[in-house]
Structure formats: structure tokens, C-alpha cells
Amino acid sequence: MSEHRASELISKLSLNSGDWVLDAGCGSAEFLINLSRATGCLGFGIDIDQAVLDLGAQRAGDLIEAGRLDLKRMDLRNSNAIRENFDVVICLGSSHAFAEAERAYPEMLECLNRLIRPNGKILIGECFWKKEPEPDYLKLIGEPVGVYRSFDENIACAASIGLRVIEADQATLQEWDTFEQDHLRRAEDRMSDASAGSDVEEKLKTHREWYEGYEKWGRETMGFGFYLFQRAT
């Protein structure tokens, strides 16, 4: 997500100070932190990876101390403990946290729909197929968790449970390229700081093969959609 894209999405959520926002599968909570700083909303971020949550907490110590941000380690497949009636719920690229394979996306929608208040908004970032993937590309990436639909099919799936689409857009190729290039660069930086060994070399090889696959197949095959839905009353 580019800075321009993030700013646009923050504006379209139309949040007020004190509104409650859930970010499911928040990672290091970068978007949620920026959202809270920009709007004054109260943020609740959930992820299963404590290490990335700790990174987010380091960046947002002032928000946490002020009671405006809470980051919790939680398995989203056991989400019954999450409070309900959020003003906005968000899931950006984390549908795989809710279920396996093609059930991931609908399970995510159904869960978030339960947690949102009537007329609340749901912001989703989800991959989609721009065209039929090559068998070699599928073999490279493994199970394409949740990525079994077209851009329009992602909208139709949400509509089937009563969500109304407010706006839908697609990441540009430049955004995709920047994301994949930065992902490889960060991996190479981490590996250069690690002790040399076969395990490090194998991980770096995997990251480079992934990027080569992106250049060969992925950038023309897989897209990333941004969907803003509203729950019916």
C-alpha cells in the first residue's frame, strides 16, 4: 500500500475521535497506528505473531499509554472473545487467518460482519486472480490461500451475506512492484545480519525464487483489491 493509497483509505473511512476500530491480522499495526494518529479513533489490533505486535507497540507507545491503542495476540479462528459493535473493521491481506483455502475469504467476511455495528464499515484488502494462473506459478506459491476469485467475485461474495459495496479499487502495478521489491530487500537485509549457514542461504533462495516468480507470472496474474463495504441495518 502506497502512502497515497493509505491516505485515501483513511479519508474514506470518515472516522471521528473516539470511534472504535478493529484491525484483524494487523501485523505490526502500521495502518491502524496511522489511522489513530490521523483521526483520533481508538484502535484494537489482533495478530497471532507476537513479534510483529511488539514492533507495532514500539512505534505506538504513546497511543498505548493514552489508552487509544490495544494490540493483542489472538487466533482469529477463535474470535468469539472479541467485543462487538465496532464502528469500522479492517482486514488487509489477512483472510488466511480465518480459515483454510477457499473458505478463508467468506469466513473472514462473516466474522467481521458479526463484529461491526449496523451501518458500520468494513475495509478489506484481498488478492484476486486477474487471469487463470499458470500451473508452474501455483506450484511455486503453494496453496493460494483465499485467492480463488476474481475482483468482481470478491464483491459478489460480500453481497451474498448482505454487505453493500461503497467503493472498490485495485492496486496499481507500481504498488505491487514496490511491495515485492521492498519485501525482497528487507529479506536480504535480515539475512545479511544473520549468521551464515545453510538455513539462511535456503531462506534467501526461497525469497529470490518468489520474486522471480512474481516477475515472470505474478504481476500479470494476481491483483490486490481494496474493498470498502457497509453493513446493512
Q: What residue spans define the domains of the chain?
A: 3-171+221-231, 175-215
Q: Is the pLDDT of residue 56 over 70?
A: yes
Q: Is the pLDDT of residue 40 over 60?
A: yes
Higher pLDDT, 189 or 190: 189
Q: Is the pLDDT of residue 114 over 60?
A: yes
CATH code of the domain occupying 3-171+221-231: 3.40.50.150
Give the CA count within 13 Å in the CB-facing half-sphere of 229: 30
- Residue keyed to cell 472504535: 20
- Looking at residue 192, what is its pLDDT? 72
Compute the Cα dihedral for 186, 191, 92, 138 and give only its sign: positive
Contact criterion met (CB below 8 Å) for 191 and 127: no
By C-alpha distance, which of 73, 53, 60, 113 is closest to 89? 113
